Structure 1
């Protein structure tokens, strides 16, 4: 017999009714990439609490696949984790750009190619519990050389990875960046490589 009673003293509110009303909002920090906002919110049961929110603009990531079925990934140092990561190219959407235009620009800046064909894989919230960043993931194929200057603060190594090695790199923990994991899995499905 299953006991459906809960010992939790908090009232159970159906998810569709669980919203938070902002009582007060203030920006605590303004930066080049993010702003940090602290919201005081009222929960459905009337309690007041705070939410710390990183405000970040929309972004893109791109899975560039060349004619030999290599994924052109990038290895770069990531200061927050004090380590290098193997990732798909990615970056922010500039004012006035569409997500697709940003994907094409990032592809040119980070790996030095343009795409004969670029297709939207999906779009998703990066980490909606604390951040407003929304990302568009693209698959780029029919690549042609067309580089743009890299961002001044990026030090990137382009790493061609055979698509058949991607699953092994995911399983071994060599690729541990969530946007890369999600977009590579989606690209494999779109290319019917699963």
Structure 2
């Protein structure tokens, strides 16, 4: 047990939705005082960095309601109950892009906002892509436009704030390092 650990004294469920749960925990701080923590529980997600045979990145553009705008992102999706992250990556790649891959490599797993949420994203590199006939359909409430771009184009999209989500920026920086250092 860390000397910085906060002991949970009580948990009050606030909301349970399709994707997230929200709760308020009363905690005992390391100095013995009490405080409240608003916590978002998320099942976890995957993000996929798909690279075509000619070295282009497969991206999706979709509307993000919390931001009231579209973003260009790498394909991603939440884990289903009991689903292994690698299975989710294969499923989401096919559903969002119509591609399947020969090789899927785990890059890293990271927390998106640990100050208030437990969401973890498992980032994968997908290589050896091929279009699948009769690919799995995207979720019925999900509308995306497929794009392919070079690393340089992706970096320009970051500068223009067209790519502005952490998972995609992280993936682009990884790819830049990999290209420069031959990781």
- TM-score class, shorter-chain normalisation, is over 0.9
Match of 1:6 in 2: none
Q: Shift in Å at residue 191 of structure 1?
A: 4.5
CA deviation profile, 1:81-135 (whole Å, cap 9, x unmatched): 1111111000011123211110010000001000111111110111111111111
Aligned equivalents of 1:143 and 1:125: distance in 2?
A: 27
Q: Measure, in 2, the Cα distance between the counterparts of 1:187 and 1:51.
A: 36
Where structure 1 has 5 or more consecutive residues not aligned to the other structure, the ranges are: 1-15
Which stretches of structure 1, 4 residues or longer, exceed 4 Å deviation after superposition?
A: 191-194
Structure 2 unmatched ranges of 5 or more? none
* Other-structure match for 1:138: 124
Cα distance in 2 for partners of 1:184, 1:100 equals: 20
Residue of structure 1 equivalent to 2:163: 175
Residue in structure 1 matching 2:88, options 89, 98, 102: 102
Aligned twin of 2:136: 148
In structure 2, the partner of 1:165 is 153
Q: Equivalent residue of 1:179, what SS?
A: helix
Q: Does 1:17 align with 2:3?
A: yes
What does 1:21-36 correspond to in 2, within 5 Å?
A: 21-36=7-22
Give distance in 1, aligned partners of 2:60 and 2:148. 8
Q: Deviations over 1:128-151 (max 9, x none)?
A: 111111110001111011221110
1:185 aligns with 2:167: no
- Determine whether 1:71 maps to 2:46: no
| Alpha-carbon distance, 1:163 to partner | 2.0
Is the contact made by 1:121 and 1:187 (CA closer than 8 Å) also made in structure 2?
no
How many equivalent residue pairs? 179
Q: How does 1:74-89 map to 2 (within 5 A)?
A: 74-89=60-75
Q: Which is higher, the Rg of structure 1 or of structure 2?
A: 1
Q: Aligned pair 1:116/2:102, yes or no?
A: yes
> Which whole-Å CA distance do the structure 2 matches of 1:61 and 1:193 have between them?
22
**Alignment RMSD, CA only?**
1.5
